[in-house]
Amino acid sequence: MSGIGTGYDLSVSTFSPDGRVFQSEYAQKAVDSSGTVLGMCCKDGVLLAAEKLEISKLLEENSNRRTFPIDKHAGAVVAGVSADGRAIVDRAQGEASNYKSMYGDAIPGSVLADRVASYVHVFNLYWYVRPFGVCTMLASYDHNGPQLFMIDPAGTSHKYYGVAVGKGRQGAKNELSKLKLADMTVKEAMFAAAKIMHQVHDGEKGFELELAIVSDETGRLFKRVGKAELQEVEAAAKAAIEAEDLDMSD
């Protein structure tokens, strides 16, 4: 990896001769090597999923939270450097609260995404800071319907039906493109997400799945999927994977 951008990669305020900003690209690499994170926008809500790799066997369950509420109707999941992620989530919560006090209504998904993107972008402009090594996925459900946005470390935001980042993103994106997300309900998507996560997870170390949804079912409130339901969904997903493996080996 060394030698690729020698000289032009020391600060984010420097362009390389071929027009690349290496620091931003390196930030993206931080995201690419983190646990897989998925987002799916369905017809009745949005689902966010994170693969929490087992850092240590001594870690308590449910610690190392990756999904966060931004407001009652919106949430986020982060991939990459979790400390950076928390800083962004803090800012997003502030923006949402600010919007509410000023305009008297819940912040629309696109406005929130815009604000977070602008914030992330600022850290790609000046030499005395470094970019966030985080991809943030924002889910929201308001009168504009369910929406899913992703903001990358360079500060670009896009709206998605389905998106995956992190180690298993290639496989995950493949699987996601096979699904008809616009016709699925969040319940069905939960099962699909669990299945994809288990399929693309590689390595002997275990992982904890964290799922969060904003949907009609939760009254359009952001809610993390509870342990009981999570276990149910994961068990069903694992069973389905085994069944498929059996089919393939026939």
Whole-angstrom Cα distance, residue 217 to residue 138? 19
Report the C-alpha gap between 152 and 82 in whole angstroms: 14
Q: Is residue 35 at the binding interface for another protein, with CB under 8 A as the rule?
A: no
Q: Which of 119, 118, 135, 131 is nearest to 82 (CA)?
A: 135
Which is closer to another protein, CB of 62 or CB of 177? 62
74 versus 186: smaller Cβ distance to another protein: 74
Mark the segment that binds another protein (CB under 8 A) among 70-78, 108-116, 148-156, 162-170.
70-78
Q: What is the contact mask toward another protein in residues 218 to 237, using x (rule: CB under 8 A)?
A: ------x-------------
* Nearest distance in Å: CB 224, another protein: 8
Residue 158 neighbours by CB distance under 10 Å = 12
Least separation, in Å, of the C-beta of 73 and another protein? Answer: 10
CA distance 148 to 161: 7
Q: Which is nearer to another protein, 97 or 118 (by Cβ)? A: 97
Applying CB under 8 A, the span of 48-56, 64-72, 109-117, 150-158 interacting with another protein comes to 64-72
What is the rounded CA–CA span in Å between residue 4 and residue 11? 14
**20/100 with CB nearer another protein:** 100
Count the residues of the shown chain that bind another protein, applying the rule CB under 8 A. Answer: 11
Interface with another protein (CB under 8 A), residue from 68, 99, 123, 149: 68
Torsion of CA 179, 152, 137, 129, to 10 degrees: 170
Q: Give 86-93's long-range contacts (Cβ < 8 A, gap of 24+).
A: 87/132, 88/116, 88/119, 88/120, 88/132, 88/134, 88/136, 89/136, 91/116, 91/119, 92/116, 92/136, 92/138, 93/68, 93/69
* Position among 44, 51, 71, 234 found at the interface with another protein (CB under 8 A): 71
Adjacent-strand bridge partners of 76: 68, 138
Chosen residue from 69, 80, 131, 153 binding another protein by CB under 8 A: 69
Instruction: Map the footprint of another protein across residues 88-147, applying CB under 8 A.
Output: 93, 97, 100-101
**Among residues 144, 148, 171, which one has the least CA distance to residue 158?**
148
∠ CA 38-134-237, nearest 5°, is 20
Task: Identify the residue among 20, 43, 72, 159 touching another protein (CB under 8 A).
Answer: 72
Our CB check for another protein shows the closer of 72 and 198 to be: 72
CB of 93 to another protein, least distance (A): 5
Instruction: Enumerate binding residues for another protein (CB under 8 A).
Output: 65, 68-72, 93, 97, 100-101, 224
